[in-house]
Amino acid sequence: MTREAKDSPSSFPHWVAVASLGTALWLYFGNAAPAVRERAELETLEQDLDQLRASYDQAIHEARLGLGPASQQDLQSLLVAIDRLGLTPAELCSLHPETDPPPPGAGRTKFP
């Protein structure tokens, strides 16, 4: 059986192409929108980290020069005092471990 010219052509290829285009657009925009949102969040995070790094660098610079809010703390003299004891900072910390503060209300006596 052969098809004659007077028969209407099939619209199957047209619908397959439209369905494929719709699927491709759905996949593209379904993946592109979250990616754009994530990129914006990552750029914001990068800016926040850059600001933190700049503030930390500034604080380190001020501490080395003895400027800023911690001008009364001289870190170099602290290291010199530790060195005079014949210890390294790690050895000093191991000799005097940090203790946890007592829980609230510990050591208090209750009066009736």
Residues recorded for the chain:
112
Residue 77 reports pLDDT greater than 60: yes
Pick the closest to residue 70 from 82, 81, 58, 79 (CA basis): 58
Mean pLDDT to the nearest integer, 42-64: 91
pLDDT of residue 112: 47
Whole-number pLDDT of residue 76: 78
Placement of tokens 């491709």 in the chain? 24
Name the helix (H) or strand (E) containing 73: none
Comparing CA positions, the residue from 53, 78, 74, 77 lying closest to residue 63 is: 74
Mean pLDDT is highest, among 29-33, 51-55, 70-74, 88-92, for 51-55
How confident is the model over 42-51, as pLDDT tens digits? Answer: 999 999 999 9
CA distances from 13 to 16, 18, 19 (A): 5, 9, 10
Count Cβ atoms within 10 A of the Cβ of residue 82 and give its class: 0-12 exposed, 13-18 middle, 19 or more buried: middle
